[in-house]
Chains A and B, each alone.
Chain A
């Protein structure tokens, strides 16, 4: 491949960021201070350098970080347009996120004991759940925020990664664990205990992701079909029970089937989201010329609708295509990886990104019942951005062939 084509995406990204940030700075001219300006320029340079540095130091995949850079650039201008305060915060989170990306990339590469620490992953997951229940505060119906020393974050974002590592460690050491013939049931019990706890926190979207990751990995690596059958029947049973027992589940389903009678209360979010997308049409109203303020959480869960309104359905489709490419690259990384543990981790992370994007975009366009989730890399939110970059760094690390040859040398 010639070097000419490989430079094009970085340049396009650079142009896109310059244009969008200058438009946003113009829009926010009145309350623009020097720091915001400097951080914006800093981000552009950082993205440019991270991409070129990564090409040099990483022998693995060169696409995922590029794709993600485009995603967060689109997200960032939208957040800036909605509120410049949030925009500045998002800029800082992105800077931290890119730092975390490199940190997790190097950690995954240098340390090689990940497949042996299954108890640690269990401990981390349960510890985070315990922390959420003890210190958590209820926000928009879900207890999933913890506030420590003024910094609030969602522990479930980290638990997702702990779940992937736990499953990877289990399936990697399957031979050892399958000496106990109930091991598969025990793992299923553990995963369902996570899902149950998330249900109690009313964090339905995350519960759905946990179920999706587990089902996907189980389908690929578990040999007995009866376990899958049990998993699926448990899911159907749990879903039905949840619908009958919990009011908040029922509301989601009713507003999904027909939100229009509840347009003033329960169905407000979803109908506003649909109005916004319809308003935008193919090319959108143009930045700063729509009304994303009508959509509740337009910078967070519903950022897809805000983007569709002001930048057009074409940009919305573009975002979906970017996610498809990201997941494709993730699967490709898994296929090229020889080491089974890293292969499962790569699969799990790709599944996580894909599912999360599907669940929230599907919710916003009323394809599936709405559950509150962030759109990875695009939505506003520190824990979402940082944990997504953490996962991306792991994926980048897994894209390099980790072959432990020394152990088998004579």
Chain B
């Protein structure tokens, strides 16, 4: 009796173990897919160029751009940079007929666009680098 059960169970065990592994892999895969789709289908976004572990405060890797986005030190901004050289409301990026424009909000230390100080409202192109305080953001716009 025991022998028969033991022989049957050995197949059952292998099946259960592999089903288990398969489900876990599938769950991990679904996890990755949901993470991937949040950046994969984006039209426009800002990517933080500084290595995240060199920044002594919390920042995300990428920020999605929609109609309007503000950057600054105070918490009501879309991107919060807790750098003392960043003003409370530092800069604004807004959408106008499928183009994004950047504007400095009279910040005390200014905004750099591709290494030049931003004076007026400017059109953003893919690959432009925006610098506020020590943080560098790359603007990416697909299609």
Give residues in A with beta carbon < 8 Å to B.
Answer: 1, 5-6, 8-9, 12-13, 15-16, 19-20, 23, 26-27, 63, 66-67, 70, 74, 283-289, 310-312, 314-315, 318, 321-322, 325, 328-329, 338, 340, 343, 403, 405, 408-410
- Of the candidates A8, A63, A285, A315, the one whose C-beta lies within 8 Å of that of B28 is A63
Contact indicator B9/A314 (Cβ below 8 Å) = no
Contact indicator B13/A315 (Cβ below 8 Å) = yes
Contact indicator A63/B27 (Cβ below 8 Å) = yes
- Of the candidates A9, A287, A321, the one whose C-beta lies within 8 Å of that of B9 is A287
Contact indicator B5/A405 (Cβ below 8 Å) = no
Q: Is the interface of A mostly helix, strand, loop or mixed?
A: helix
Q: Is the interface of B mostly helix, strand, loop or mixed?
A: helix
Q: Which residues of B contact A1 (CB under 8 A)?
A: 27, 30-31, 34
> How near does chain B come to A19, taking the closest CB pair, in angstroms?
6
Q: Are A9 and B18 CB-contacts (below 8 A) given A1-B34, A315-B13, A408-B82?
A: no
Number of interface residues of B (CB under 8 A): 33
Give residues in B with beta carbon < 8 Å to A.
Answer: 2-3, 5-7, 9-14, 16-21, 23-28, 30-31, 34, 52-53, 56-58, 73, 82
Minimum CB distance partner of B30 in chain A: A1
Contact indicator B11/A338 (Cβ below 8 Å) = no
A26–B16 Cα distance when bound, in Å, is: 20
Contact indicator A287/B10 (Cβ below 8 Å) = yes
> How near does chain B come to A287, taking the closest CB pair, in angstroms?
5
Contact indicator A5/B27 (Cβ below 8 Å) = yes
Minimum CB distance partner of B74 in chain A: A410
Contact indicator B57/A405 (Cβ below 8 Å) = yes
Contact indicator A338/B2 (Cβ below 8 Å) = no
Contact indicator B21/A343 (Cβ below 8 Å) = no
Contact indicator B57/A16 (Cβ below 8 Å) = no
